[in-house]
């Protein structure tokens, strides 16, 4: 994350009552989520390649979130916490537009994105 620039932070409900400026996903964003207790941080590198960090805001329960990806995305890779290597997490298939993310309590995953448009 140190070499990435933050471009936005989005929350699904319920918002923490003290979350300053908690914002829902913009309707026209290329990624959407309606499941509860997810914080999604958006980033980009110096070449404007998008990255996102999914965080389970529930510190008591594991959560599974379904992220809807639009057709401008050709590849999503997840950073493996143990190996430090990027692994394919999503590539559009016949009718597939969803990436499922399972997060431990308070845990998160970093993803990098390849967009075609």
Query: Candidates 2.170.150.20, 2.60.40.1180, 3.50.50.60, 2.60.120.10; correct CATH number of 5-115?
Result: 2.60.40.1180
46-80 pLDDT, tens per residue?
999 999 999 999 999 999 999 999 888 999 999 99
Q: What is the pTM of this model?
A: 0.87
Give, for 91, the enclosing helix (H) or strand (E).
Answer: none
DSSP letter at 112?
E
d(CA 60, CA 65): 15
38-55 pLDDT, tens per residue?
999 999 999 999 999 999
d(CA 10, CA 38): 8
Domain residue spans of the chain: 5-115
């Amino acid at each position: 994350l140190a070499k990435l620039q933050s471009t936005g932070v989005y929350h699904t409900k319920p918002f923490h009552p003290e979350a300053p400026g908690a914002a829902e996903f913009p309707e026209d964003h290329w990624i959407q989520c309606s499941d509860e207790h997810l914080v999604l941080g958006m980033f980009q590198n110096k070449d404007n390649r998008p990255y996102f960090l999914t965080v389970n805001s529930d510190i008591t329960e594991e959560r599974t979130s379904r992220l809807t990806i639009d057709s401008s995305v050709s590849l999503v890779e997840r950073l493996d916490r143990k190996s430090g290597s990027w692994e394919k997490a999503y590539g559009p298939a016949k009718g597939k537009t969803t990436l499922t993310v399972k997060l431990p309590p308070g845990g998160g995953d970093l993803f990098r994105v390849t967009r075609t448009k």
